[in-house]
Structure 1
């Protein structure tokens, strides 16, 4: 489980399939009000406090992005902090109110910190998944977008390779198209292997 700060009041967790399996949690469980999901959320908040000094009380918005074959990304945004008087009135169970939304994606999007990592990933993944995908440049990083309409085992192998060079991203292709620059509009992995040997 990795956590990073996105802004003063917003953090992002990446939960791998292994993180979920270790706790006996299925993707569908995130919606259910069950003890192991509460335990997971408490562990996440503890890690956020330890690593980022990010403390939560009061209203919290939780966005869950289910990533095919990768796990999920959880974005936690805290609302205003309660006043000391309001804090006294809260009991332990009311320390935070959750508002959870879930989005399932039919795409896998990986981000790479530099172009060389993208090129290396393209060379390694192209023999496995063929000439597919689209590449965008956005905020100084490179994004490879793959549709998940390929055989699941092929997709799993591709994700495993891409994870060595980049990381799963929650930026949507809509944002990349709108605000980023299109590098390859189609067959990106084929283009990478053709032009960068």
Structure 2
């Protein structure tokens, strides 16, 4: 994780999706599971406090920017007081959540703490599949020849992987189910993420993989 101290009250840090996974969290968890996203956030803030001497006093304003390979998080510490006292954050995650939650009527009057990682405006539905040989993809590529999907092929640890990404602006959930059903006739799903493949794998086709398979092997 890369940490940059902007000023006395603001710190910025970047964490890759690979680092997120190595910490025991999945990408889906940090987008859609509030408990997990907050747990990851406070874990990172503890690290920021140790490395950048950023003391977590009072409410925090958090801005998260989703990037291709990770997250850029900017945290600003607000210097608010109540009854002349600073608002300190408790050490326990549950107590911190109560401090920022909207359900506690006695909570300090400042902006409600929203889920740390907001869902992106455009969802991309990603899937990875095991491939024996690249040329084996020709029949599948023919069946999906006119389907507008993102595709890539990587070689990683002596195996090939096909990455497929659907955009919900172009495809309905029913469309995706139908296409995944077709792909599953030829391939088996893999738990590997595109971020791990990009980080450690060798790209065969970084984009337009299925059209390229037809072009070179069809």
When normalised by structure 1's length, the TM-score is 0.44
Structure with the largest fraction of helix = 1
Greater Rg by CA:
2
When normalised by structure 2's length, the TM-score is 0.40
